[in-house]
């Protein structure tokens, strides 16, 4: 095989460090081997530290980020339940779709793509739909680069007696995310973004209130693979672990090493690094006359307007062919109108920021 080494600055995956790749290539063990169980437990401890939670049930779902969405929805929601879902991009829309496939009646709160939700809009939706069991929202909307403040929203949701469900696929370890302090009941992410691990796992965490809601279910979880009532006997059982599925052993090695790197750097230091790289990129594109799409921008995913008259695909092709550099295209209403530049984890460096700025300047002409 002759796989090129790209500089991955799109919406994901991000560039994976040599340390994580070496861990991925370690000898494969059986998924019930005591040494593997020990390492898996260590991985879950590290996940709790990065999520800033003491939730006992915090583990990596054996599939990519959207599996985390399916996992929390299929376990917490039942056919006939009502839910409020906030939609301001692709992944809010996807949450609606997954909810509806689970037989949930969804009440959407919509704002234009690239914008965020006000506390007042959430409070109004909660008041209008008092029977809703949960409210779901995207913390970091990858399709638009918008960062949604959620701490005050959590209080609104809990005061109404609802569960608070959060998509943190593009924010975990890149932005401040305090699961316990912000009282998030269920959250999911992906390994391929700010954790800079290959795609293939979706870290999730469930609060005690979420576990209580699962215990009160009247119907069987529609997904056998994502049924937490069985999974928890493997990921958080004591003594002999109950077999459920063959875990992706080598991917757990990789995640364990990626989490070690995060914790060695320190969360606050890591958040500040992402912020500074965002500001460096922002200053650079502003000097080129290019503005950002969202007013409230992620540090980890920068969605910028394509200058008028510039060919979107031609620029991205030149970056790939001449600089071995990948950036992302716009989605939905932003297709052909925006670029998405990822500054996530191992990719968020001064060298990469300066390279993408120079490459864009050359490609735009």
Q: DSSP labels for 42-88?
A: HHHHHHHHHHT---SEEEEESS-HHHHHHHHHHHH--TT-EEEEEES
Shared domain for 244 and 277, answered yes or no, is: no
Confidence at residue 127, expressed as pLDDT on a 0 to 100 scale: 98
Question: Is 74 domain-assigned?
Answer: yes
Last residue of a domain, one of 199, 234, 263: 263
Q: Which residue range(s) make up the domain with 340?
A: 7-12+266-364
Output the pLDDT for position 83. 98
Residue with tokens 């990921």: 235
**251 and 274 belong to one structural domain:** no
Would you state the pLDDT for residue 241? 83
> Which of 235, 263, 291 corresponds to the end of one domain?
263
Cβ 204 vs Cβ 186: under 8 Å: yes
Phi, psi of 113 (to 5 degrees): -55, 135
Q: If the chain, 365 residues long, is cut into consecutive pieces of 10 residues, what is the mean pLDDT of each piece?
A: 94 98 98 94 97 97 96 98 98 98 98 98 98 98 98 98 98 98 98 98 98 97 96 80 92 98 98 98 98 98 97 98 98 97 98 98 95
In this predicted structure, what is the pLDDT of residue 240?
Answer: 74
If asked whether residues 110 and 259 sit together in one domain, one would say: yes
pLDDT at 255: 98
Query: Looking at the domain assignment, is residue 163 inside a domain?
Result: yes
Sign of CA dihedral 45, 51, 54, 60: negative
Q: Is residue 131 part of a domain?
A: yes
pLDDT for 238 equals 63
Asked whether the beta carbons of 24 and 198 are under 8 A apart, the reply is yes
Q: What is the pLDDT of residue 242?
A: 86
**What 3-state DSSP class applies to 158?**
helix
User: What residues have CB less than 8 Å from 22, skipping those under 6 apart?
Assistant: 257
In a domain, 118, yes or no: yes
In a domain, 2, yes or no: no
Residues 130 and 155 in one domain: yes
One domain for residues 131 and 228 = yes
What's residue 156's pLDDT?
Answer: 98
Assess if residue 247 is contained within a domain: yes
32 and 101 share one domain = yes
Within this chain, do residues 83 and 226 fall inside the same structural domain, yes or no?
Answer: yes
Whichever domain contains 321, its CATH number is 3.90.1150.10
Block residue for tokens 């995640």? 255
> Does 23 share its domain with 163?
yes
- Give the torsion sign (CA, 52, 93, 90, 151): negative
CA distance 121 to 5: 45
Q: Where are the beta strands (DSSP E) in 127-271?
A: 134-138, 140-141, 146-147, 163-167, 186-188, 202-206
Give the closest residue to 55 by CA, choosing from 44, 63, 65: 44
Q: Which of 197, 230, 263 is the last residue of a domain?
A: 263
Helix, strand or coil for residue 205? Answer: strand
Please give the Cα distance from 227 to 217 (Å, whole number).
12
Q: Domain holding 34: CATH number?
A: 3.40.640.10
Q: Is residue 182 part of a domain?
A: yes
pTM of the full predicted structure? Answer: 0.97
- Same domain for 297 and 230, yes or no, is no
Whether residues 183 and 220 fall in one domain: yes
- CA geometry: angle 114, 273, 12, nearest 5 deg: 50
Count of domains forming the chain: 2
Q: Helices 151-159 and 119-128, interaxial angle, to 10°?
A: 20
Q: Comparing C-alpha atoms, which of 91, 87, 88 is closest to residue 106?
A: 87
Q: What is the spatial distance between Cα 287 and Cα 133, in angstroms, rounded to a whole number?
A: 47
Separation CA 290–CA 72 (nearest Å): 38
Residues 23 and 127 in one domain: yes
**Measured on CA atoms in the order 230, 236, 239, 245, is the torsion positive or negative?**
positive
Looking from the CA of 194 toward its CB, the CA atoms found within 13 Å total 29
Same domain as 207, residue 162:
yes
Would you say residue 1 lies in a domain? no
């Amino acid at each position: 095989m002759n796989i090129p080494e790209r500089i991955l600055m799109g919406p994901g995956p991000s560039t994976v460090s040599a340390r994580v790749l070496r861990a991925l290539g370690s000898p494969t063990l059986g998924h019930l081997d005591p040494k593997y169980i020990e390492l898996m437990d260590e991985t879950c401890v590290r996940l709790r530290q990065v999520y800033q939670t003491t939730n006992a049930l915090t583990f990596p779902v054996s599939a990519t980020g959207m599996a985390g969405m399916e996992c929390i929805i299929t376990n917490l929601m039942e056919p006939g339940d009502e839910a409020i879902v906030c939609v301001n991009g692709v992944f809010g829309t996807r949450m609606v779709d997954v909810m509806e496939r689970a037989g949930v009646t969804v009440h959407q709160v919509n704002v234009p793509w690239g914008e965020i939700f006000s506390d007042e809009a959430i409070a109004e939706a909660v008041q209008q739909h008092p029977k809703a069991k949960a409210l779901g929202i995207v913390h970091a909307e990858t399709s638009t680069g918008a960062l949604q403040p959620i701490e005050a929203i959590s209080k609104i949701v809990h005061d109404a007696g609802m569960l608070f469900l959060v998509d943190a696929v593009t924010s975990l370890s890149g932005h401040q995310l305090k699961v316990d302090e912000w009282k998030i009941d269920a959250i999911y992410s992906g390994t391929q973004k700010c954790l800079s691990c290959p795609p293939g796992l979706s870290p999730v965490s469930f609060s005690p209130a979420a576990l209580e809601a699962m215990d009160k279910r009247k119907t069987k979880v529609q997904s056998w693979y994502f049924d937490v009532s069985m999974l928890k006997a493997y990921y958080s059982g004591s003594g002999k672990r109950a077999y459920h599925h063959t875990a992706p052993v080598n991917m757990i090695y990789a995640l364990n090493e990626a989490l070690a790197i995060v914790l060695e750097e320190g969360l606050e230091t890591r958040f500040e690094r992402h912020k500074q790289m965002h500001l460096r990129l922002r200053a650079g594109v502003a000097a080129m006359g290019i503005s950002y799409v969202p007013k409230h921008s992620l540090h980890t995913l920068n969605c910028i307007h394509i200058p008028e008259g510039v060919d979107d695909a031609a620029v991205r092709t030149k970056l790939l062919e001449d600089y071995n550099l990948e950036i992302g295209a716009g989605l939905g209403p932003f297709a052909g109108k925006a670029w998405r530049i990822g500054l996530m984890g191992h990719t968020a460096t001064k060298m990469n920021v300066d390279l993408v700025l120079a490459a864009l300047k050359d490609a735009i002409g």
